Amino acid sequence: MPDEVLDCRGQRCPLPVIAAARRMPQVPVGTVVRVLADDPAAAVDLPAWCRMRGQEFLAAITGPDGPAYDIRRTH
Amino acid sequence: MSASSVYLDAATAAPLHPVARQALLAALEDGWADPGKLYSQARRARQLLDAAREAAAQTLGVRADELSFTSSGTTAAHGAVLGGLAGRHRAGATLVHSAIEHSAVLHAAERHVAAGGVAHSVPVDRVGRLDLEAWSAAVRAPGVALAALITASHEVGTVQPVAEAAAVCGDVGVPLYVDAAQSVGRVPLPAGWSILSASAHKWGGPPGVGLLAVRKGTRWESPWPADEREGGRTPGSVNLPAVVAAAASLRAAAADAAAEATRLDPLVDRIRTRVAAEVPDVEVVGDPVLRLPHLVTFSCLYVDGETLLHALDRRGFAVSSGSSCTSSTLRPSHVLEAMGVLSHGNVRVSLHRDTTESDVERFLAELPGIVAGLRADAGVVGL
């Protein structure tokens, strides 16, 4: 289960990525943040952001809140 | 000071080649009659059409009777896919295609699936190159009627392993269709294909002319209502003046292609290197070596693609983007998605015969400031 949820539903690219980039440095290393984002570009851009920033992309899931993406702060 | 205009979207449409303009004007004079009729005006039109077909066929390395002129590259791609599938319906109902085909090919595939057929998409790697192992497995599966592979990606420029992909197809007797829109008139064509399509406005011909080549011995059946024109491969009257201009400019572009590639290739290298070095948080995508000589694509982190295109346009730069906010469907480019690379803040730059070194230098000089300005406006500096 994620440690916290970042609700970016209704936001267009690149806003969900910007929201994740703002939040990650504020959480302790090891924290898993679940990003809720219904913009289809998030499915491409959140994993790409993790790769570029050396953070860990855990999984893309579709739950009751729509598409969601789990990211772990690794550094 | 108003910025002078620098057009960098040749992969969408190259500026009209001077040879095309000249041929178009000449052909408007005596290329208006129906080439199918039996009077002297028609015979003159027929001569022009035959000469255009002969010239274009020679440039492509095919026989004249293997080549048809269509009303666009899109129509040629639709005909290639649907006709290739129809001609082989006894062999099966599966279309194998790469994940990075042009949307014209994918839309034809959707039509095929809606009619009960099967489409199997083969993945690419991070630089946008076909996974040959997956391709081989897909093509060798039972029931494959046709395989489709773009010669080089229209979005990121990565050249595809067509000869290797064709060898697999040859092994099992599956015809290979290649969408050669970005290659014809610019780089030598790969061998081993059975069906090819191309688009005149990509090489400096007029818009509204496509090429469809079907090699002898290929089972291909027209997906359109019957029409005897153009070898029965595409219905309707051809736009003869535009066809004449397309053929003349194709010959001219092909004659200059090697020299142009030698001139543009280092400019693309310069863009790849300088953008990566001088714009922070940018991802330059596509294969840095096995690529088209005139096309480069990159994505700028945290930048909105549409805003970036407008900002570049205000400074006189015309470029294209695969970002979702620039598409009518609000979906990111399926090519960038298949590669798993950043899709927002995406810019495709494609060069042509009128592009000068100073055009490229001005773009490179202005881009870092434009991106920095947009990031400052969005409050994302330092993220």
Domain coordinates in residue numbering, chain B: 6-14+257-378, 18-252
Q: Is B329 helix (H, G, I), strand (E, B) or coil?
A: coil
**Chain B partners of A52 at a C-beta cutoff of 8 Å?**
281, 283, 301, 342
| A10 and B CB contact within 8 Å | no
Asked if A22 reaches chain B (Cβ–Cβ under 8 Å), the answer is yes
Å from B285 to nearest chain A CA? 12
Catalytic residue among A3, A9, A13, A14: A13
Put simply, whether A8 touches B (Cβ < 8 Å) is: no
Residue B327 CA to residue B39 CA, distance in Å, equals: 49
The side-by-side arrangement of strands in the sheet containing B67-70 is B67-70, B210-214, B195-199, B176-179, B144-150, B94-98, B118-122
Question: Any chain A CB within 8 A of the CB of B278?
Answer: no
pLDDT score of B331: 84
Which residue among A18, A40, A45 places its CB closest to the CB of B383? A18
How far apart CA B262 and CA B51 sit, in angstroms, is: 30
Q: Is the peptide bond before A14 cis (omega within 30 degrees of 0)?
A: yes
Is there a catalytic annotation at residue A13?
Answer: yes
Q: Is B192 exposed, middle or buried (0-12, 13-18, 19+ CB in 10 A)?
A: middle
Q: Cα separations (Å) of B364 from A30, B6, B272, B281?
A: 40, 12, 10, 16
Q: What is the pLDDT of residue B4?
A: 81
Phi, psi for residue B116 in degrees, rounded to 5: 105, 0
Q: Say how many C-beta atoms besides its own lie within 10 A of residue B253's C-beta.
A: 25
Q: Which residues of B touch A47 (CB under 8 A)?
A: 340
> What's domain B6-14+257-378's superfamily in CATH?
Aspartate Aminotransferase, domain 1 (3.90.1150.10)
- A13 touches B at CB < 8 Å: yes
Under DSSP, the state recorded for B372 is H
Name the architecture of domain B18-252: 3-Layer(aba) Sandwich (3.40)
CB contact under 8 A, A40 and B336: no
Report how far residue B337's alpha carbon sits from residue B331's, in angstroms, rounded to the nearest whole number: 10
Residue A16 has pLDDT above 70, yes or no: yes
pLDDT classification of A59: cutoffs 50, 70, 90: very high
How far is Cα B178 from Cα B173, in angstroms, rounded to an integer?
Answer: 16
Q: How far is Cα B244 from Cα B241, in angstroms, rounded to an integer?
A: 5
Report the pLDDT value the prediction gives residue B1, as an integer from 0 to 100.
41
Q: Which residue of B has its CA nearest to A20?
A: B383
Is B197 within 8 Å of B179 (Cβ atoms)?
A: yes
Average pLDDT in chain A = 95
Cα gap B321→B323, rounded to integer Å: 6
* pLDDT averaged per 10 residues, chain B (length 383): 82 98 94 94 97 98 98 98 98 98 97 98 98 98 98 98 98 98 98 98 98 98 97 96 98 98 98 98 97 98 96 97 74 94 96 98 98 97 91
Residues A47 and A50: their CA atoms lie apart, in Å, by 5
Residues of A in contact with B383 (CB under 8 A): 18, 21-22
Domains of chain A plus CATH, in order, are 4-72 (3.30.110.40)
By the CB < 8 Å criterion, does B302 face chain A?
yes
